Amino acid sequence: MGNPLDKLIGWFNPEAGAKRMASRRKMELLGGTRGYEAAKNGRLSKNWGNSRGTADSHVARDGATLRARSRDAVRNNPLAAKIVTTHADNLVGPGIMPRAKTGNPTWDQFIDQLYAEWEKVAHVEGTTGANGSVYTLARMMVQDGEGYLRRRRRRLTDGLPVPLQIQVLETEFCDWNKNQLPSNDTNAIVDGIEYDRIGRRRGYWMFPANPEGGRMTYGQSLVSSFVDAADIAHMFEPQTAQSRGAPWTSPVLNEIQELKDYELAENVRKRAEACNVGVVIPGDDDDLGEDPNIGLDETQTGDGDAVQMRDIYGNPYERMEPGMFLVAHGGRDVKFNTPAISAGIEAYIRTRHRSIAAGARLPYELMTGDFSQANFASGKLGLLAYRRFVTDMQWHFIIPQVMEKIWGWFIQAAKEAGKIPFDLVVNVEWEPPEFDEINRLDEARADLLEMRMGKRSPQEVIGKTGRNPKEVLKEFNEWFAEVDKTTSGLVFDSDPRKVSAQGQAQITTQSTGDGDAESS
């Protein structure tokens, strides 16, 4: 690449500029101007792209093509579909549950119950709830690179637990072509996202419907309008300082397509080999009875020669069908087809699958369902690394970008509806879904040991299952109260008040009326 002086000289004198750039290219090829091996330009790196620009510029230029190809792959390729579904199952799953933390147990219980009622009817279309909307958003983030939730305020007369619903919007709703340089009177707009003077997101320029085929209503026009950032939750993974996201499938789309083409070619080859079973070659002096070729035009091949290769019915061999035998003249023999054996095809496909899984940031076993080469230790290590990735995504992006927005909208709507006081401070505690354990017994023993040594509280251990610890304790109290009322004297092993973990009766101390204690 020429420097500014080379380009200036080339503008006035192209020949001189070309000579300067050619000489500079020769110096780079000699390797004397590059300290890093990966930055050198030579024969081995001539096809290595060097496109410059920011993440925003690349996403703006290539985002539409990446999304279209990613969606096509998810629709038609099982690997791509599995990548999207598996990520969403682990990132959101049944839902990331909020727990109100006001300092007042009564208000905590009331707000949690109110949220549970509203969550079921939170979606605008009514096809899912708030948790299902976030799950859909997670799928869109993996497939398209991003997705949006928009707050929709409702009237008190609409009959909702709180006057609020949320709408899921695809990436096309945000006007990608809306860009503007900042000035004294205007803010900067980058790919439809408006920023204020200190770099905060002020709002989004949104279309009323999807411009690529959304449902329009009467009187709507496809002109983007400004929507305050307080009404939009934008889920995406910023890998650099970027405004919008790219599909997670981008690094593997080419490899997925190439592997599909390879499997198709191998399948076509096998089908072609199966069509031709063998060739029957009768002798010249054999009595074949009536010649099936009588009446055929011997010049139909176009060169004046008779057609020598025919099927057993005498028809010219112009097409292939499974199980065909060909009949030839001029000898006496039967030659059977010997299809080639595809050696190493399974190992090759498995290697490509591992590369795709690495690019998709998924364990190979989860993407393919192939556990034939995994043992307990290797499978556990792979899942631990993936769990760390999922946890990071949940706490760094999904919870702050989406869940905090939804909770804030809900609390504000509840206050405006008079369900909770305006001066009540409602904090929140988030509980992501629990990971399923390969060996639940060992994990349960580890949880018990950590609780006994003071490393974890029972509330934390119960909370990671997605349950409310207070609700679990309440259910325990209600259950054991009912058990104690029975006259049968049943004692369950699950009752830690009376039975130890080893199945032995617990020694409990009960208070007597005179202040003494007696053991039982």
Pairing of the two strands 324-327 and 201-206: unpaired
Q: For position 298, what pLDDT does the model report?
A: 45
Q: For position 350, what pLDDT does the model report?
A: 92
Band (pLDDT 50/70/90 cuts) for residue 68 is very high
State how far the Cα of 218 lies from the Cα of 120, in Å rounded to an integer: 29
Half-sphere exposure of 351 (CA within 13 A, CB side): 5
CA 395, distance to chain mean position in Å, is: 17
Instruction: Please say if the pLDDT value at position 485 is more than 70.
Output: yes
State how far the Cα of 318 lies from the Cα of 302, in Å rounded to an integer: 14
CA 381, distance to chain mean position in Å, is: 21
The least confident of 109-113, 409-413, 424-428, 488-492 is: 488-492
Helix (H) or strand (E) holding 225: strand 225-228
Q: For position 405, what pLDDT does the model report?
A: 97
Instruction: Please say if the pLDDT value at position 520 is more than 60.
Output: no
- Tens digits of residue pLDDT in 253-285: 999 999 999 988 888 888 777 776 666 666 555
Q: Which of the two residues, 320 and 22, has the higher pLDDT score?
A: 22
Tokens standing for residue 21? 């750039």
Instruction: Please say if the pLDDT value at position 23 is more than 90.
Output: no
CB-CB contact of 229 with 203 (8 Å): yes
The least confident of 107-116, 146-155, 424-433, 480-489 is: 480-489
State how far the Cα of 266 lies from the Cα of 312, in Å rounded to an integer: 28
State how far the Cα of 14 lies from the Cα of 242, in Å rounded to an integer: 38
Amino acid at 457: S
- Mean pLDDT, to the nearest integer, of 194-203? 94
- Tens digits of residue pLDDT in 336-351: 666 666 678 888 999 9
State how far the Cα of 22 lies from the Cα of 202, in Å rounded to an integer: 48
CB-CB contact of 100 with 428 (8 Å): yes
Q: For position 284, what pLDDT does the model report?
A: 55
Instruction: Please say if the pLDDT value at position 220 is more than 70.
Output: no
Mean pLDDT of all residues belonging to the chain = 83
- Mean pLDDT, to the nearest integer, of 363-382? 84
Q: Provide, rounded to the nearest whole percent, the portion of the chain with pLDDT above 70.
A: 78
- Helix, strand, coil shares, percent, the chain, to 5: 45, 15, 40
Pairing of the two strands 276-281 and 324-327: parallel
